[in-house]
Structure 1
Amino acid sequence: MATAETVDLGPVHEPKEESIKVFKDIEHELKKELLHTRREYQSKNPAFVGRNLQVHQLMPNPVPEHEREYFQAVEELDDDQLAGFSSKDLVAVRVAVSAYGVHLFGKIRIPAMSDSGPAYIHFRAFDVPGGDEPAKLHSIHTEEKEHSDGDKTYRAIFTKNDPLEWFDT
């Protein structure tokens, strides 16, 4: 498996034709997974139940409070707004090449959010150039960060200035 230690992650740059093709290959799955992940983290939060989240079944155990924080920045958005991005909203990418193929890290702007705050999703995709299979979504970045005072913050929505770095989850 490729890791930050075993491959070189290239510099941040604007998406080029190949990156846009990879994004288009994974776009449907990315949106589906994004909405699923938000539901998973927030379905027990009373503020979200009944909104356009299409919650079919509440999870049997309450969601820990910290998990709700991951999507707090977009809590006012419905599903269509949250997943209302397209290839034109792919603003930055980084690429790493391994023996297995190409690892694409991307930053997508959520058009319904103000650019002055959290409004970006980071994703990771994998592609085998020239292969018969379309690119595959690897993950959407969710961050758990421990601060010097021991406090932790959790997020899945990033700002324009947050760096696009290697992540596994």
Structure 2
Amino acid sequence: MTYRSIGELTPCQATKETSELGESHAPRQESIDAYNAIEHELKKQFIHLRRDHDKHEPESFAAARGVSDHDLASFSQDDFVLVRVATTAYGIILFGKLRLPALPGAYVHFRAFSEGPDDDALFHSFHTEDKEDEDGHKTFRTLFTEDEPLDWFDA
């Protein structure tokens, strides 16, 4: 698989309810190939996400304060530790979990898409979580732990 532009996504939108989401497992060759195809874009978009969140939701990357962009995005194929694959009517959605070597114990979840095993893979998004407390205060985060499950997310 190779990387394509996100603008080439099919207009269909998969949901958790309309897709068959497989169990979590270690990445197999097809998922590793997809990761390798989008690794550069993952790193680029991860740094972009950090910079954007630092402006508007700084707590989202609070654990990474003092870590350079280069070090934060120093993950590689070896750090791709978990995957879940969803089969949809129009392709395959890959949910991946990446260890962040610069932040021991920190992981990021990403989503990618391909129309099939022989087609180009493309990066879709990172999982960002926002929660609202009872008093209406919102908190944001993008960094997860090893124990947190890799579940369906839309953006």
TM-score (norm 1): 0.79
Q: How many residues align?
A: 143
SS of the residue corresponding to residue 96 of structure 1 reads strand
One-letter amino acid of the counterpart of residue 121, structure 2:
A
**Within 2, Cα distance between the matches of 1:149 and 1:165?**
27
- 1:161 is matched with 147
Percent sequence identity over matched residues? 52
Bigger radius of gyration among the two: 1
The answer to whether the aligner puts 1:8 opposite 2:20 as a matched pair is: yes
One-letter amino acid of the counterpart of residue 78, structure 2:
K
Distance 1:14 1:41, change over 3 A: same
**Within 2, Cα distance between the matches of 1:16 and 1:150?**
42
- 1:135 is matched with 121
- 1:82 is matched with 72
Query: How far off its partner does 1:29 sit?
Result: 0.5
- 1:123 is matched with 110
- 1:41 is matched with 53
One-letter amino acid of the counterpart of residue 40, structure 2:
H
Query: How far off its partner does 1:148 sit?
Result: 5.1
Query: How far off its partner does 1:162 sit?
Result: 1.1
- 1:92 is matched with 82
Distance 1:131 1:18, change over 3 A: closer
Query: How far off its partner does 1:131 sit?
Result: 4.1
Residue number among 66, 83, 101 corresponding to 2:91 in the alignment:
101
Of 139-148 and 119-128, the range deviating more from structure 2: 139-148
**Within 2, Cα distance between the matches of 1:143 and 1:23?**
22
**Within 1, Cα distance between the matches of 2:24 and 2:117?**
23
Going by fraction, where is strand more abundant, 1 or 2?
2
**Within 2, Cα distance between the matches of 1:69 and 1:123?**
19
SS of the residue corresponding to residue 5 of structure 1 reads helix
**Within 2, Cα distance between the matches of 1:138 and 1:13?**
20
Structure 2 stretches of 5 or more lacking a match?
A: 1-12
Query: How far off its partner does 1:11 sit?
Result: 0.7
- RMSD between aligned alpha carbons? 1.4
**Within 2, Cα distance between the matches of 1:161 and 1:86?**
20
**Within 2, Cα distance between the matches of 1:147 and 1:163?**
22
One-letter amino acid of the counterpart of residue 73, structure 1:
A
SS of the residue corresponding to residue 143 of structure 2 reads coil
Structure 1 stretches of 5 or more lacking a match?
A: 43-62
- 2:41 is matched with 29
SS of the residue corresponding to residue 154 of structure 1 reads strand
